[in-house]
Homo-oligomer: A and B are copies of this chain.
Amino acid sequence: MVSKNQIKLITSLQQKKYRKQHKIFIAEGVKVIQELIDANYILNDLFTTQDDFSSLKSGKTHAITILDLKKISALTTPNTCLATFSIPETKNPKLEGLILALDSIRDPGNLGTIIRLCDWFGIETLLCSEETVDVYNPKVVQATMGSISRVKVVYCNLETELKKAKIPVFGTFMDGKSVYSENLPKEGIIVMGNEANGISSSIEKIVSERISIPRFGNLQLTESLNVATATAIILNEFKRPV
């Protein structure tokens, strides 16, 4: 059973303001929820229409009707289960190894896909400017397909943080050197810019290495790449064997 107050609380968590206030976020679907539990996220409540989590012996599991699940779900087509987890504290990031940094990514699907890419390519730390969409937005959590539990996402003043870095800072620009010709290091911070405006001018000043992905299509007309697919290509170039 889910009470009226619980419905009110859970639906409020679709807004960042209430997630910050309650320090709770929601996750939906067996796969995502199980991966968060496995990664030691603190489970608050689990609502399920089925017997999905029979292994989970705790007073935190509640049966829920499909109708009530629809009320609390952030999805158009609700899954069989929804859980609330505590938002973990983030620690200061260590700026070493290969790191990805996002300068004001706004689309939840893009952030989710980029977190999934970090997980795939073994990037442990993802720096996000404060203007970047919230990682605990239900659409982001869903798009990560569980990868959120394995990538450390740190919100920060990106300018301040990048200025502290003792490793090279890479940024993609139309006039950058081809990512194919560069001798790419094992250590560095790769900055990806906003969907519409690219990297902001204050961040551009801190970039030490300007790189670009060469185009093969019609040079005059081809639109720029979507930021998630551009990130896929850049991470692939940094990580692939030479």
Contacts and interface: CB of A to CB of B under 8 A. Distances in A.
A209 B133 CA distance: 40
A38 to B, nearest CB: 8
Interface in A185-242: 215-218, 221-223, 225-226, 228-233, 236-237, 239-241
A109 B109 CA distance: 10
A222 to B, nearest CB: 5
A70 interface: no
Interface stretch (A1-9, A77-85, A116-124, A157-165): A116-124
B228 A120 contact: no
Q: How large is the interface on A (under 10, 10 to 19, 20 to 34, 35 or more residues)?
A: 35 or more
Nearest to A228: B229
B35 A215 contact: no
Number of identical protomers: 2
A146 B223 CA distance: 7
Contacts of A222: 119-120, 147, 150
B221 A117 contact: no
Contacts of A217: 118-122, 150
A216 B120 contact: yes
Contacts of A226: 113, 116, 228
Contacts of A121: 216-217
A30 interface: no
A64 to B, nearest CB: 25
Nearest to A239: B216
A43 interface: no
A117 B225 CA distance: 7
Contacts of A221: 35, 146, 150
Given A109-B109, A150-B221, A117 B229 contact: yes
Contacts of A118: 217
Contacts of A241: 180
A231 B109 CA distance: 17
Contact of A116 (B218, B223, B240): B223
**Residue of A113, A225, A228, A241 with highest tally of chain B CB at under 10 A:** A225
